[in-house]
Amino acid sequence: MSAAAETVSDNAQQIAVEVDNVTKIYPGGVEALNDMTIHFPKGELTSLLGPSGCGKTTLLKIIAGLLKPTAGKVKVNGVDVTGPGKERAFVFQDFALMPWASVIRNAAFGLELQGMNKSEREAIAEKYIDIVGLKGYENLYPHELSGGMRQRVGLARALAVNAEVLLMDEPFSAVDEQTRRKFQEDILEVVDDEQKTFIFVTHSIEEAVYVSQSIALLLPRPSRVSEIIRPDIRRDISPDAIRRDPVYLDIVERIWQGLRTYVE
């Protein structure tokens, strides 16, 4: 694999996030990423898909500024990333909600940290709680919600700060299967409506094909971008029809064939 820029999109689109020659070696010598270069186009949902150990979560956390790369550079809208920033928001695998705070306070927490006054931030949080489908649950606490609902709060919190880039770390992996399907359908709507760049880490092939405009297939040892796939499945048909669409099934099968040698 050459170090040439691996742009996810083939047409001349604006790039929201550039990852250039990023290497990450953890203390102790474990190499999570090796000279990885990948560009994420603006306004699309790009999935990072790969078997465990391919460094997809590490890459996402480096983009988020939560981890420092050992070498290489990450730019968001042309500006170097040195730490977490306003233009990026993170959705956590285990939701990372504050159990002592109500749904609305959790959803407004990013704005609270920015110093916005209470009525203003709660008005914004309320709007996003409505968008993620939790209207009426504002005053409940996380332990009173199901896993899927908790992640909706996590999503509302990330949307409320109005970041341009949303980083989602296996957001549905702790959510049960039925809830996950509904959630995937809803996320497509959010992507359409919000005009934001989504980077979505997942280990589910079906999920990646279903929700993504493009999929970056990562492979481990050494970790690298093996392929960029644009699953041009029809979006004008119903969700259930998509899941039975031969194009959709072919892409899932093709990715599986590419990955199976890496799965023990």
Partner 1 sequence: MKIFGIKIPMMASLILWAILWEIVGQLELSILLPPFSHILIRMVEIVPTATFMNALWITAKCFLIGTAIAIVVGIPIGVLMGRSIVIDRMLLPWVNMFLSAPLTALVPVLMTLFGFGTKTIILTTVLFAIWIIVLDARAGVKNITPSLVEMTKSFQANFWQAFTKVYLWAAMPEILAGIRLGCIRSIKGVIIGQLLVSVVGFGRLFELYSANFLMEHMWALLFVLFFFAFLIAEGLGVLERKFEYYAASRN
Q: Which residues bind partner 1 (CB under 8 A)?
A: 61, 64-66, 83-86, 88-90, 92-96, 98-100, 109-110, 112-114, 142-143, 157, 161
Helix, coil or strand: residue 30:
coil
Residue number with CB closer to partner 1 (14 or 114): 114
* CA-CA-CA-CA dihedral for 191, 193, 197, 200, to nearest 10: -20
The one-letter amino acid code at 222 reads P
Q: Distance (Å, rounded) from C-alpha 240 to C-alpha 260? A: 26
In the complex, the smallest distance separating the C-beta of residue 167 from partner 1, rounded to whole angstroms, is 8
In the complex, the smallest distance separating the C-beta of residue 2 from partner 1, rounded to whole angstroms, is 32
Number of other CB atoms surrounding residue 173 within 10 Å: 15
Neighbour-count burial of 20, counting CB atoms closer than 10 A to its CB (0-12 exposed, 13-18 middle, 19+ buried): middle
C-alpha dist (Å) from residue 226 to 138, 148, 177, 220: 43, 32, 28, 9
Residue number with CB closer to partner 1 (50 or 110): 110
Residue 87 and residue 249 in contact, taking contact as beta carbons nearer than 8 Å: no
Helix, coil or strand: residue 111:
helix
Cross-strand pairs, 46: 199, 214
Residue number with CB closer to partner 1 (157 or 224): 157
Residue number with CB closer to partner 1 (80 or 236): 80
What does the buried/exposed string (b/e) look like for 202-226 if buried means 16 or more CB atoms within 10 Å of the residue's CB? bbbbbbbbbbbbbbbbbbbeebbbb
Residue number with CB closer to partner 1 (90 or 128): 90
In the complex, the smallest distance separating the C-beta of residue 136 from partner 1, rounded to whole angstroms, is 21
Residue number with CB closer to partner 1 (40 or 90): 90
Residue number with CB closer to partner 1 (112 or 164): 112
In the complex, the smallest distance separating the C-beta of residue 60 from partner 1, rounded to whole angstroms, is 11
In the complex, the smallest distance separating the C-beta of residue 48 from partner 1, rounded to whole angstroms, is 17
The one-letter amino acid code at 42 reads K
In the complex, the smallest distance separating the C-beta of residue 229 from partner 1, rounded to whole angstroms, is 28
In the complex, the smallest distance separating the C-beta of residue 35 from partner 1, rounded to whole angstroms, is 25
